[in-house]
Structure 1
Amino acid sequence: MQQSAVPELARTDTRPIHWVATATAVAGVIALTSLVQPGPATAAQPTTATEARPAPAPTATTPPGTTGVAFPLDCGPVKAVVARRTSGDLDGDGKPETVAVVHCDAAMGTPPDAVYVLTRNATDGTPRVVATLVQPADRLTATDLAIGDRTVTATLLGYSTDDVPSCCPDVKKAAAWRWNGHAFLRSTPADTRGV
């Protein structure tokens, strides 16, 4: 009979100490892998013009507020009050403008309104007046202020003569303003009527 070139294998009976040693070794490997972390991923970026890159997400901006704005309105000893305001993109640049109806805080009567367009200053983001749609000298009260389809609309209440008391406007006009790239152009729809 020929002898095997490989010595006989040792006995393969396991004892509890073998299991304890194996469990300790596995726990050590798991603990070591939690301490060693891979570096940051460095995926290759597209380098040619033919490879598509996702477009950057548009930045959303908030419309300019009216707090702290120096409106070009001479109120003397009383302060200017923002009666109404609305916001929307009037020039198509993706950034909203604010339209504000402002009048002096008069104790009696109906003070005339002014209507201003505000935008954000490009350098520091502070709100500033860029256009006047209604002057206080026009002696009008602006109601139903809205923005739609890049157009400002309002109902203007006024007076047929200087003899009409300021409490009781007797003329009602619909008005709309649209930016033409250089200025806001006013249009008057056909529904102008007396009240």
Structure 2
Amino acid sequence: MQPSAGPALPHTRARSVHWISTAALLGAVIGAAALVQPADASPHASQATPRPAPDPKAATYPLDCAGAPVDVVSRVSADLDQDGRPETVVVVHCPVQAGTPPTGVFVLTAGAAPGSAPRIVATLVDPAEQRSITGFGIQGRTIRATVLGYSSDTTPRCCPDQKRAYTWQWRAGRYYATPGALANSV
């Protein structure tokens, strides 16, 4: 190593004040770069804009209500299959003046094209089964309902005489029903 050709220059020695000022300047540059974003960027640019849940009043149901509109009795929405889009679970039946109309429970998803009607992706309770629904809701990603039914064809349709709690969960590409114990009197 060769000795330097002259006296040590004062500006070539690194002192703590030099390191602190360099770190502060570097921090300011990194902070400014983090704040500068494209005009169309959002604070959560990596997250997709949440989509609204399907509107059950815009869907078409497999119920023949003799020209009357289908009554939407109850609805709940959640992302049940964890695809980032909410589904709407809906309880519907035909309007009646007396008795207990057959009820259907359907899972809706958004239509294929923007602005198109929601579509049914699953039937949890088919109206043809002549059932009624109470205690309907979602807990986490589990759909829960109490299904009321009839022990025979001679049981008056006003008065269901059987009751069973059900849960439905999305697994392996479909909704699986888990029935509870059958209660023989409502």
TM-score of the pair, normalised by structure 2: 0.71
Does the 8 A contact of 1:78 with 1:106 survive in 2? no
Aligned-residue sequence identity (percent) comes to 46
Give per-residue Cα distances to partners, 1:83-114, cap 9 Å, x unaligned: 11111111011221101111111222110101
TM-score of the pair, normalised by structure 1: 0.68
Residues in 2 aligned to 1:64 and 1:175: alpha-carbon distance in whole angstroms: 23
Counterpart residue number, 2:47: 57
Counterpart residue number, 2:127: 136
Residues in 1 aligned to 2:105 and 2:88: alpha-carbon distance in whole angstroms: 10
What are the ranges of 5 or more consecutive residues in structure 1 without an aligned counterpart? 1-42, 46-53
Residue identity matched to 1:72: P
Confirm whether residue 98 of structure 1 aligns to residue 96 of structure 2.
no
Residues in 2 aligned to 1:166 and 1:156: alpha-carbon distance in whole angstroms: 14
Deviation at 1:178, TM superposition (A): 1.2
Matches within 5 A, 1:32-181: 56-126=46-116, 127-181=118-172
Deviation at 1:125, TM superposition (A): 4.6
**Structure 1 stretch displaced more, 177-186 or 85-94:** 177-186
Deviation at 1:124, TM superposition (A): 1.4
Residue identity matched to 1:177: W
Q: Which one has the largest radius of gyration?
A: 1
Q: How many residues align?
A: 146
What are the ranges of 5 or more consecutive residues in structure 2 without an aligned counterpart? 1-32, 37-43
Counterpart residue number, 1:13: none
Say what the alpha-carbon RMSD is for the aligned residues.
Answer: 2.3
